Structure 1
C-alpha cells in the first residue's frame, strides 16, 4: 500500500516515523485557507483537513495510480474563544498572537482526514487540547519574536520551541498541539493493518 502524507510539514513526517517504519510519500496540498465569515475554529480545522484530503486525492487520481493507497491530511488551528489566530507570516503576527494568548487558556484543534482506497473509506477525527500561557511581559514577547520560532506556526508558536517556556498547563494531546495527534494516527494505522490481514 502506498502511504501519502498530504502536508509540507517536515515535523509531521518525522512524527509519523517515530511510530511506524512505513515509507511515507509527501504530496503538498494547495488550497485556499481563508476563514469563512462566522466560521468557528473546530469547523474551520475540519474543513481545512477535508479540503487538503480532496486536493491530494485529485493529484493521485490524475497520476492514474491503480494500486491501494492511504492519504493522511491534518490541519491545526489555534483559537481563543471564537477568535481564530493566524498562521503567523511575520514577526507582527507573532507579536499579535502572543498578546492575545498572554495569561489565558486557548484551544488547539488538529483535524485529521484520511482516505483508504481499498475500502473507499474516509475517516475524520479531531484532537482538542487546552493550553494555558503565563502572563507575558514585554520582554517575553520580544524574546519570542527574536527567537524566530513563531513564524509559519498556527497561533504564532510551536509547542516544542521557545514558547514552551510560557506554558503553565496542557489538557489534552501534546502531539495534537504539534499538529499530528499520534494517538489518532496510530489508531488509524492499526485499523489499516487489521484490514490488510483479512
Structure 2
C-alpha cells in the first residue's frame, strides 16, 4: 500500500514519519476560501480536510499507482466560536495572541483518509483544549520578534517558543501540533489498516 500525505507541513511530515516509514508528500492546491464557516467548527475542519484529500486523490490517478491511500488534514484554532486561521501579518498575529491570553481555546484537526482504489472515505476530527497564561503586551511582542507565528493557525505552534504560554492542555498534544496520532491510528484501524 502506498501512502500520500496531502500536506507540506513539516510538523505533519515529522509526526507521520513516526508511524508510517514510507510515504509521499503531495501538497494540496485546494483553495480553502471556497469553504465557508457555517457555525460548526468540527464540520468546517472536516470539510477542509476532505477537500484537500480529494484534490490530491484525484491527481493520483495520473500516477497510475495501485492501492493508494491519501491522508488530508487541516488544523484550526477556535475561541468563542471564532476561527483563528493563519495571521496575515505581525499585527494580526498580535491580535490573535492577545485574544488567547488568559483564556481556554480549542484546537481542531480534521482528518480525511481516502483509499483511492476502493473509493473508501473516512472523515473525523480531534479537539484539544489549551489554556494560555495571562500575557503582557511585552510578552507578546517578544514572541512576535521570533517570527514563529508565520504560517501557523492561531499565530502559534505549541512545539516552539509559544509552548511557554501554555498553562494547561486537555486532549491530544499532537493534535495541537497538527496531526493527532491516536485519532489517525484509530481511523486506520476502522479501515482495516494496521500501521
- Do Structure 1 and Structure 2 share a fold, with TM-score over 0.5? yes
1:155 aligned partner: 154
1:40 aligns to 2:53 (yes or no) = no
In the TM superposition, residue 17 of structure 1 has moved relative to its aligned partner by 1.1
Q: Return the TM-score normalized by structure 2.
A: 0.92
Would you say how many aligned residue pairs link Structure 1 and Structure 2? 193
State the 4+ residue runs in structure 1 displaced beyond 4 angstroms: 189-192
Contact 2:75 2:107 in 1 (8 A): yes
Q: 1:128 to 1:195 in 2, by over 3 A?
A: closer
Q: What's the TM-score, normalizing by structure 1?
A: 0.90
What is the match of residue 4 of structure 2?
Answer: 4
Instruction: State how far apart, in whole Å, the 2-side matches of 1:2 and 1:57 are.
Output: 12
Q: Distance in 2 between matches of 1:195 and 1:170?
A: 30
Distance 2:59 2:118 in 1: 19
Q: 1:118, CA displacement in angstroms?
A: 4.5
Q: Report 1:51-90 matches (<5 A).
A: 51-61=51-61, 63=62, 65-90=64-89
Match of 2:14 in 1: 14
Distance in 2, matches of 1:134 and 1:176, equals: 20
CA distance in 2, matches of 1:8, 1:165: 26
- Residues 86 and 154, structure 1, Cα contact 8 Å, conserved in 2: yes
Q: Give the CA deviation at 1:188.
A: 3.7
Q: Which runs of 5+ in 1 are unaligned?
A: none
Question: What RMSD over aligned residues (CA atoms) do the two structures have, in Å?
Answer: 1.8
